[in-house]
Structure 1
Amino acid sequence: MLQPKRTKFRKFQKGRIKGIISNTTHLKFGQFGLKALESGRIPARTIEAVRRIITRKFKRMGQIWIRIFPDISVSSKPAEVRMGKGKGSPSFWVCRVKKGQILFEMDGISFQLAKQASILAYYKLPLKTKFITRD
């Protein structure tokens, strides 16, 4: 699974996901892509699940670019632990995704195959997404 080798801080605050990042709204590498239509957090295990589904659908043809990286740790306390006594330990990694951001890019395959792969990926992702092509 994806996670950073090292970070400046072990634990992060939740924060809010607002606005649009201008440098991640257009296709840069592939012919087809998957674009987020809403903001949210995507866990590292979900990114890996989507990557597996797309590679299986392509049958090892074509190429995939993952344009997101889970760099924020989410901490959680164990079950049935009383309140207080500090913040819990880091349990998994997430990626903050803004509205309009490109999540995955694909190339070297037909339009139909890319469309089918993006539909399968849509079912796994916790956000609404849209299949886009290079204009």
Structure 2
Amino acid sequence: MALMPKRVKYRKSQKGRVKGNATRGNYVAFGEYGLQTLDPGRISAQTIEAGRVVASQAVKGGGKLYIRIFPHKSVTAIPAETRMGKGKGEVEFWAAVVKPGTILYEISGLSEDAARAAFNRVAHKMPVTCRFVTRRPTV
């Protein structure tokens, strides 16, 4: 089942613009390895779910998967071959807005090779360019 908010104050939101780099959620906090975006963009709830399915197949109970993004933004669309006017379209899907540097997924309890292979499969499903990152050593 795709992610979406339980309730929102306003059903339809404006597009907005993605400016700058991520200042929050831009380091590996829960697992040992993470998948980080390099481009700005929107990731739909269906895409997040597809990535979760692929990553959880790779984990197979041997580790833990963390999803670090949530689709808060509603994306609307008007049906095809509709004349101009008549207002804003209905909500088509929910999306997560990501800035460059945002961590999408994290994995713990796997070897680096297994995590790299899992995130390689997940990255192919993402609409943005991603890279594999590791947790920084703490002092």
Fold match, TM over 0.5? yes
Could you tell me whether the CA contact under 8 Å between 2:59 and 2:65 is conserved in 1?
no
Paired residues, number: 135
* 1:47-88 Cα deviation digits (max 9, x unpaired): 000000001112222111111000111011112111110000
Which consecutive residues of structure 1, in runs of 5 or more, have no partner in the other structure?
none
Structure 1: how far apart are the matches of 2:69 and 2:60? Answer: 23
Paired residues for 1:42-121 under 5 Å: 42-121=43-122
* 1:20-72 Cα deviation digits (max 9, x unpaired): 23221111101000000110000000000000000111222211111100011
**What SS class does the counterpart of residue 24 from structure 1 fall into?**
coil
List 4+ stretches of structure 1 deviating above 4 A: none
Q: Which residue of 2 is the match for residue 17 of structure 1?
A: 18
Which consecutive residues of structure 2, in runs of 5 or more, have no partner in the other structure?
none
Structure 2: how far apart are the matches of 1:25 and 1:76? Answer: 31
Normalized per residue, the structure richer in helix is 1
**What SS class does the counterpart of residue 22 from structure 1 fall into?**
coil
* 1:101-131 Cα deviation digits (max 9, x unpaired): 1111110111111000010011000000000
Structure 1: how far apart are the matches of 2:25 and 2:49? Answer: 20
Structure 1: how far apart are the matches of 2:107 and 2:20? Answer: 25
Task: Provide the TM-score with structure 1 as the length reference.
Answer: 0.97
Structure 1: how far apart are the matches of 2:126 and 2:24? Answer: 22
Residue 123 in structure 1 maps to residue 133 in structure 2: no
Structure 2: how far apart are the matches of 1:75 and 1:121? Answer: 26
Q: Residue 134 of structure 1: CA displacement?
A: 1.2
Structure 1: how far apart are the matches of 2:134 and 2:58? Answer: 18
Structure 2: how far apart are the matches of 1:107 and 1:45? Answer: 23
